[in-house]
Structure 1
């Protein structure tokens, strides 16, 4: 009798609630209470706002239903908002032509007329190619006939200035801020240069395209792409115009600004990469490079004089993968300066200087971090048909070397053509230089017309706020406007047993899967007259407002396990 009275009381309370039918797709459930509001609040600010409870005595099908509800809630857990950081891939295209010279031997300086070859040169600014003050002075010679060696090409006065090709690149700020590596107080810049020698097949120079005139040739070892460093506003006619390369210096390389990471004298390598960071890091602090890499200054120890020992660590996904503990020194005599250089896979680090605070409590390291690092093996092909060399400034001029050290000073990096000779050049012919620029042969009124040209596109990845220089253009990504869902690490709700949960101790809403026979918390609500579920109940979603320590409770149940499964599927359809 007591059982009957309790059942009647529960039904009466249940009947006082607002009830409606929920039909979603193939699944239908009775709704009791404000189920829609509960469902709308299961995720708040990207996190689960409910716990899921399944009965200790539940059938396997109830457990599966609880897991399915948890998985659905987990799929809703993302954050939506404005993009504050990110990156974009940008395609940069540029085209340009140098000056054109027609009837090369007839219109060039008189000294070239008796030659069977002519050197042509171009750079991003015609200041670099001027005969009297620029690089061309090494080849053209002052006075006439005393031309020096230009990249291994000796041409005496047979040199022609085709002036600027504006898509070649200049790095106007080649030295990192404040480094003053040589102690001269100079600032440095770096520029790309193209040099090619055009030969005739006989000692009689060709002036026209046509029968009876010699064809033209481009020979192995006589085409050079070079990236050279200069003292700012000096253009290469004299030894004092050039700047020796040092680790950390920025130079252009095939249209993109790169950092010299290391000139490896053991293996004769020129190692370069893309600048990821330049600045100062405090001892104990780190810089997140991206792609899982982090650079940490683990320690800075003062030694005697101006020397410091710096402990640099490179971490990948939180694990140290490379480190170096070495001396960095910036003495009064710059020639004795030492840097720390660390190269690991495609990452490079150059520490230029270090110091500590007044009390020697903590230290600082001045450094450049580079990614996308590549090794250029000197004297070997870097790209098809082009070998890599250093450019050395010697008494004989600018020469190419397959050594990372030389008798002179290394002032640049070059790529020299080592492919097959190209002969019998006729009109409408182009010779491609380092897959980057072209030497174009054309016809104008039957005369040879010769020029350099570029029509180049490059893809670059750039982060918000970052600047990149490519094809002699500086690009800054100011912002990305997009609607985005940010991937965040979140923990989806996990169903727990009724023996591990409590209505009185709940700190968020509860979803109870299973009726009072199998779920003890559902039974508590039924005993209190807050829900009405029995063996005859259809699939039901019932809300007991404030029943879990002030938090709402949703009961997902039915008269049997199949009805409970149907109620769970109906809830999943709502979410």
Structure 2
């Protein structure tokens, strides 16, 4: 029997006359092939049959760490099925709201300010840079724009955001009352000065043009037609009927991205919520609606049609309510002080005896019902004004309920708005002149990216290009393997003179009989009786390798096991 190499790694104690830290000795540990082969364990973990429970736990931990190495890798070629293309739809502009300028190009007059606080008389007044700050405030509107197809009617996104910012105020830390142009400023859009119009009447607009033929003229004219669905006339088109003439009861629509299901259109607003329709109850039935549980406790058909229901809210609030068919819609908050208005609205349509002789209640259920009127906040922070005709909301406007303030303002999540100033000085004839141009910048806040998935034969939109083939690259395919044989053994199951696998021995010569054999026969060189925790690698023992993970007691063995687990984690 020939031992080609013995490497002992010191976790904390002296080893063969020298002390070596674990990190510096990791190069002497075996590579991944010692532990696994073809994704399967290539080693047996051996623990003493009479060992302490902590040694058994250490062996189990090593087995778990070894499991992270049980996989195979191979290079595979990706088969292309489709390709995703994208297009940047971000508006290609930055808008500048004029604020102040004493530049010669803007005023036709040489700048005359010899101090910054003299920059007072060149505010934009709506037509020229020759006003005061109050003139600039009076100029309105400050900003008008439209963002197309942002809200929906029954899932169809054709409603535009038409918004107007009437006024913007500046605030400057250097001056309580603004007189001269600020070097830097925060912005405020006062409450009521930001209006968004949402038009839910979407029309069909058509266009037709007849032109003479290049050869035959009016003997053979050609006609070009076009059709557009929009709330506004694109210009030169003819109204050809409505696609949507508003939204009414039963419609789902969105407002600034918030979804509402209309239960009813009121004189000056809407009632919205979740309509669960008509539901049948037998006595004892329990049914759930948006987290609210309704149980039919009792049903009566004579002398009046009524029923007793137990209503339980998602947070556990519960009460009994009696409803009769002659009450119509019943908000249960009118019958129980445990519920808030609109949480649950019930309507008992009928009670009767079924063909099986059981009593049945026919009930309409609505949850989270809210009434919103003109002047209320439909979306948090926005006061709504409804325009209603023929029981339909034709359009609505939203205005900001509170001041919107900050160094950078978020405009409906689509734009950012901030103050900016360019300034210059000129030294001439021992005099310093000041020039400044200030403006409010409005630019898209985030890129708008449209993606499209295409297959072979599809055309890339608006390009004329067709997908001819999709080539896939290569990638590493990882297959997780599962052990098919035991990996942990007792020392009594291993014949140290006839091993058939690499071994990891957990425990020193006192706890592990195989370790004792190697020590007694001179193969192990570590003084295990005094070791604070070591890992010893016997590289070639009858054609196999052996790792001894041990120490002077179970605690030292535990420390050595932790070091091996760390080493294994770096191999995966």
Query: The TM-score by the shorter chain falls in which range?
Result: 0.3 to 0.5
TM-score, length basis structure 1:
0.36
